[in-house]
Structure 1
Amino acid sequence: MKTFTPKPADLSHEWYIVDATDVVLGRLSTQVATLLRGKNKPTYAPHADSGNHVIVINAAKVALTGNKLGKELYKHSGRPGGLRRDTYAQLLANNPERIITSAVKGMLPKNKLAKVQLGRLHVFAGEEHPHTPQKPQVFEIAQVSQQAK
């Protein structure tokens, strides 16, 4: 049996929408990373870019377990003195998109495809998003936070 290699004509990029309300951050980011890589398709190949576009709405309502609200997220601009340190509590109030983006980025492969796949991630703090003409399919994450119940 020969190994299947998808041709560029075989690759399609669907649109999915994920609601992050009361979903644990780790569970959300693993599902989103799987969709971004295209691992839900039968034509998946690790070297081919068969990923999907993923829209995450309600990022401000994501559930953080344990003591993550006091944990810090670091980012460096590359310039001298450019280290930025914010707690998850501050980010949840001001920039919740950065929490989900950094969690998903850590679950993607560390290669050239990761930048392309991360470019297909669209995170919004609220319910509104400008991608309604693409007609995204709803992707349901079944397991929500135990604290939300």
Structure 2
Amino acid sequence: MDTLSYKTVSANRETVNKEWVVIDAENQSLGRLASAVAKMLRGKHKPEYTPHVDCGDNIVVLNAEKVALTGNKWSQKRYIRYTGYPGGQRELNAKQMMAKNPKSLVENAVKGMLPKSRLGRKLMKNLYVYAGTEHKHEAQKPKEINLNSIKL
């Protein structure tokens, strides 16, 4: 006899409903944009969220070169990488990184908010960042989301 009034539903790769979403990053704060994108990549905004499954959406971020940083972060925020050779530590500030590759600023922020595992690396493949307003995903018919009007 089934006495429970609810069933726990666990999503898997076949039952997940993935959508395409476009987000405009113009005048958005980098951290707030990245946390919203990371939540949507994980699928935490969906009722059938399952932690160990890629149940998030495919996200296209436009206008990455127009993202905003507050305070003195353009000059004081540091991005450190290591080449693998002795003395190979390299450092860029946010302004230099934006001049070099505007997409990497947003990608780096979102990557830091995802799990550091195989799942996190798989989720990053669902993120498409473009510096301008043009993208090549019109065939997927993505829906546009305004981050200021939704609550995540």
Select the residue among 17, 23, 27 that pairs with 1:18: 23
Query: Which residue in 1 is equivalent to 2:52?
Result: 47
Query: Which residue in 1 is equivalent to 2:61?
Result: 56
Query: In structure 2, do the counterparts of structure 1 residues 82 and 11 end up closer, same or farther at CA, with 3 Å as the change threshold?
Result: farther
The alignment covers a number of residue pairs equal to 143
Q: CA deviation at 1:8?
A: 2.8
Percent identical among aligned pairs is 44
Q: Are 1:74 and 2:117 counterparts? A: no
Q: CA deviation at 1:48?
A: 1.2
Q: CA deviation at 1:65?
A: 0.8
Q: Distance in 2 between matches of 1:135 and 1:83?
A: 43
Q: Are 1:104 and 2:80 counterparts? A: no
Letter in 2 for 1:124: Y
Q: CA deviation at 1:78?
A: 3.8
Q: CA deviation at 1:76?
A: 2.8
**Max Rg structure:** 2
Query: Structure 1: any 5+ residue segments left out of the alignment?
Result: 144-149
The TM-score normalised by the length of structure 2 is 0.86
Cα shift readout 1:78-123 (whole Å, capped 9, x = no counterpart): 4555433211111222311111111101111122100000111111
Query: Which residue in 2 is equivalent to 1:92?
Result: 98
Cα shift readout 1:19-51 (whole Å, capped 9, x = no counterpart): 000000011001100110011111101011112
Tell whether the 8 Å contact from 2:13 to 2:55 is kept in structure 1 after alignment.
no
Q: Distance in 1 between matches of 2:93 and 2:119?
A: 29
The TM-score normalised by the length of structure 1 is 0.88
Query: Which residue in 1 is equivalent to 2:129?
Result: 123
